Amino acid sequence: MLFPLRQIFLMGAVNLLAMTIAEKILARAAGKDNVEPGEIVEAEVDYVMLNDVTGLPAFEVFEKFGVEPIKEKVVLIQDHYVPNKDVASAEQAKAMRLFARKYGIENYYEVGVSGICHQVMIEDGFAAPGRLIIGADSHTCSYGALGAFSTGVGSTEAASAMALGSLWFRVPETMKLVVDGEPGRYVMGKDIILHIIGDIGVDGALYKSMEFYGKAIEDMSLADRISMANMAIEAGGKAGIFPPDEKVFSYLEGRVKGSYTPVYADENAEYIETLEYNAADIPPTVAKPYLPSNVAPAAELGDVAIDQAYLGSCTNGRIEDLRIAAEIMRDRKVHENVRMIVVPASKKVYEQAIEEGLVKVFLEANAYVSGPTCGACLGGYMGVLAKGERCISSTNRNFVGRMGHKDSEVYLANPAVVAASALKGRITDPRELS
Amino acid sequence: MRGRVWKFGANVDTDQIIPAEYLVTGDARELAKHVFEKARPGFAEKVRKGDILVADENFGCGSSREHAPRALIGAGISCVVAKSFARIFFRNAINIGLPVVECDVSAEDGDELEIDFEKGVIRNLTTNKSYVFKPLPEFLLNLLNSGGLVEYTKKRLSIYE
Ligand code: SF4
C-alpha cells in the first residue's frame, strides 16, 4: 500500500521526497513517507536516557501515569552528582536506583560501572546510525556523531516517552556545514566547532539540525566528531549529525545493541543554509567568558593566568583526549599556581587510561585524577571555582557561574590547550611548547 | 492576561535562571527561592505572582533542566515573552504549562503588559504600544490549554486501554 504511493510521489515531484538525515530519521520514526521542516510529528523513539539530576522530576511525573515504563527503551545513568556530593544528591541518586529496581530497568548504570551519560550511551552501543534517541540532558545531541538523530528534552517529556514510547517533534530545518582542508597540529574537532559557533553565534542554529560534511570531517576521528556534535546545542541546534562511515561501523562492531540502518541525506535535499570552512584556517581556539561564541586564538591569550585546568566531560573526556594531554604533559609538571583536575568520561576510559600509563603521567605531573563524574563541569562539586578564579576547561559551557562563583571565569579549549596551559600557568597554544 | 514586566537581555541561560548547585530538588517553590540568584540578586524576593518576563534572543539557552521553567512557575511568572527561545526551554515550558510567546516587544522593568493569546496581540499599557505575534501551532496550543504534556499523556494512555 505504501510502496505505490511513494512511486507516485517520485513520478510527480522528486523534490518532495528529497530529505536531509534529520528529516529521514523523523519520517521513519513517525511512520511517514515524507516530512517537512516546521511540521509537528509524533515519532517513536528508540531510547530515552535520564541522569540523576533530570531523573527525579521525571520519575515524579511518571508515577502520575499509573503504567509500567517501556522498559527496553529506558536508560538510567548516574553521573552528575555521584558519588553523592551531599544528602540532597544522595536522595536524588536513590530515587533513580529505586525506580530502576521497582520497574526492573536493565539499562541502569550505578556508580562503579557508569560514567558521563553521553559517553556511556555511545560506548555501550545505544547510539547508532538512523536511531531516534532522546535524553533528558541537553548534550544528548552528541550521538549525531554516529549518524543518529538525538536531542535533549525535559524531564516531563522523558516521563511521557517512557510511558508512550513516542514524543512530539517539530521537524527542524537543516543547515549544511562543510569543513574542508587539513587541520594544523593540535587543532581538534573542538576548535572547529568553537570556530563555527564563534562565526554563527550561540543561536546561529536555533531549532535547526546541523549536518556536517567535507574532507576535514571525513578524515576526523570519531572522538572529535563527538566533541563537535556535543556542542551543536551551544549553537542553539537541535541536533548535529554526521553521515555515518566506516569509522562508525567498525567502532560499533561488537558493541552496538541490536541492529541499525544507516541513513544518508538525499542528494537534492534542501538546506536552509550552507556554510563552508577551511580547517587549515582554524588555530587552537579558546572561548572566553561568558559565551561559547566569544572565541579567540589560544595564541592571543597568553597573558591570561589560570588557577585551574580541567580535563574531562562529555565534550573532551575520551581516551583520545587524555592521550593528547598526556603526550604534552609527560615528564613535565603542572605549574605551581595551577590545580589540574583530570576526569575520564567513563569507567572504560579510566581503565584504558590506566592501562596505557596515562594516569601515571598525570599523577607524576601533579594533576589530580578522579573517577568519572560530571562534578566540576557544571559547578556541582569536586573542582568548584572560588570568587575571581579562572579555569581553562575542556568542557562546553562558560556561562556566568558555570563552574562556581558568579565572579569566576571559564575558558573553553581543547585538551591539548588545557594541558599546555596547566604547565605554563597561563593560556597557552600547545605549539609554543614543541 | 496582565502582568508587570521584568526585562532581561539576550542569551539568558539556564544557569542564570537556576544555578546548578540547586538542582537537587524538582520542587517549583523550593527552586523559586534561588531563581536568578546570581544574575539578578534580589529577584526571588521581589517577584510577584503574575509578573511577566520580557527578554531578547535565545532565552533559556544552555541545559535541558526543566528546573528552569519550573522555577519560573514557582516564582509566579505568568508568561515569558522573548524575541526567540532556546529550543529545549521552549519545549519544556509548553510541556509543563508555562506560556511562552515569541515576539519583539519593547518594555522596561515595571511596565504593565497585556497579552491576548488568541488574537496574538501584546499591549504595553505603560507605553501604549501594541505588538502582534504568531499564535502557537494548533498542536502546541492544545497541549498548553489541556494542561501540558502530563494531561496529554494520560489521555493518550486511556485511549490505548
Ligand atoms: S559532562 Fe558536563 S556537559 Fe556533559 S553531561 Fe555532564 S554536566 Fe553536562
Is A103 a member of any domain? yes
The 3-state DSSP class for residue B74 equals: helix
Between the alpha carbon of residue B111 and those of residues B81, B108, B135, the distances in Å are 13, 6, 23
Decide if A88 touches B, using CB distance below 8 A.
yes
Contact yes or no for B24 and A140 at CB 8 A: no
- Say whether both A277 and A290 belong to one domain: no
pTM, rounded to two decimals? 0.91
Is A349 a member of any domain? yes
**Distance (Å, rounded) from C-alpha B37 to C-alpha B41?**
5
pLDDT tens-place string over residues A352-363 = 999 999 999 999
Is A25 a member of any domain? yes
Contact yes or no for A163 and B157 at CB 8 A: yes
Looking at the complex, report in whole angstroms how far the Cα of residue B115 sits from the nearest Cα belonging to chain A: 25
Contact yes or no for A203 and B84 at CB 8 A: yes
**Distance (Å, rounded) from C-alpha A235 to C-alpha A213?**
17
Query: pLDDT band at A434, cuts 50/70/90?
Result: confident
Query: pLDDT band at B65, cuts 50/70/90?
Result: confident
- Say whether both A185 and A247 belong to one domain: yes
pLDDT value at A1 more than 80:
no
> Which has more pLDDT, B145 or B108?
B108
Domains of chain B: 2-136 (3.20.19.10)
- How many A from CA of A378 to the centre of ligand 1? 7
Residue A168: which of B58, B64, B139 has the nearest Cβ? B139
Is A8 a member of any domain? no
> Contact, A390 vs A305, CB < 8 A?
yes
- Say whether both A295 and A265 belong to one domain: no
Domain of residue A314, CATH code: 3.30.499.10
Q: How many domains are contained in chain A?
A: 2
- Say whether both A122 and A235 belong to one domain: yes
A2 phi and psi, to 5 degrees?
Answer: -70, -35
Is A5 a member of any domain? no
DSSP A122-169: HHTT---TT-EEEESSGGGGGGGGGT-EEEE--HHHHHHHHHHSEEEE
- Say whether both A197 and A343 belong to one domain: no
CA B57 to chain centroid, in Å, comes to 14
- Say whether both A263 and A294 belong to one domain: no
Q: Which residues of A121-141 are buried (b: 16+ CB within 10 A; e: fewer)?
A: bbbbbbbbbbbbbbbbbbbbb
Rg for chain B, CA atoms, rounded: 15
Which of A212, A357, A390 is closest to A290 using CA atoms? Answer: A390
Q: Which of A226, A318, A377 to mutate to test the pocket of ligand 1 (most atoms within 8 A of CB)?
A: A377
- Say whether both A71 and A149 belong to one domain: yes
Average pLDDT of chain A, as a whole number: 95
- Say whether both A220 and A350 belong to one domain: no
* ipTM associated with this complex: 0.86
Among A243, A265, A282, give the residue marking a domain's end. A282
Between the alpha carbon of residue A60 and those of residues A48, A51, A100, A159, B122, the distances in Å are 16, 14, 13, 9, 35
- Say whether both A275 and A290 belong to one domain: no
Please name the amino acid found at residue B48: R
Report helix angle A222-230 to A319-329, nearest 10. Answer: 110
Contact yes or no for A406 and B157 at CB 8 A: no
- Say whether both A107 and A226 belong to one domain: yes
Query: pLDDT band at A4, cuts 50/70/90?
Result: very low
- Say whether both A278 and A296 belong to one domain: no
Residue that has been written with the C-alpha cell 546548578 in this structure: B20
**pLDDT at res. B160:** 65
Is A2 a member of any domain? no
**pLDDT at res. A125:** 98
pLDDT tens-place string over residues A149-195 = 999 999 999 999 999 999 999 999 999 999 999 999 999 999 999 99
Looking at the complex, report in whole angstroms how far the Cα of residue B150 sits from the nearest Cα belonging to chain A: 7
Least confident of A80-84, A361-365, B88-92: B88-92
Is A4 a member of any domain? no
The dihedral built from the CA positions of residue A428, A429, A432 and A433, taken in this order, carries a sign that is positive
**pLDDT at res. B22:** 87
User: Which residue range(s) make up the domain with A203?
Assistant: 18-282
Interface test with B, best of A54, A156, A387, A409 (most B CBs within 10 A): A156
Q: Please report, rounded to a whole number, the percentage of residues in chain B having pLDDT higher than 90.
A: 73
pLDDT tens-place string over residues A7-44 = 444 444 444 689 999 999 999 999 999 999 989 999 99
**pLDDT at res. A159:** 98
Residue B96: which of A64, A156, A291 has the nearest Cβ? A156
Among A282, A304, A331, give the residue marking a domain's end. A282
Nearest 5 degrees, angle CA A159-CA B117-CA A239?
40
Among A282, A314, A346, give the residue marking a domain's end. A282
- Say whether both A185 and A135 belong to one domain: yes
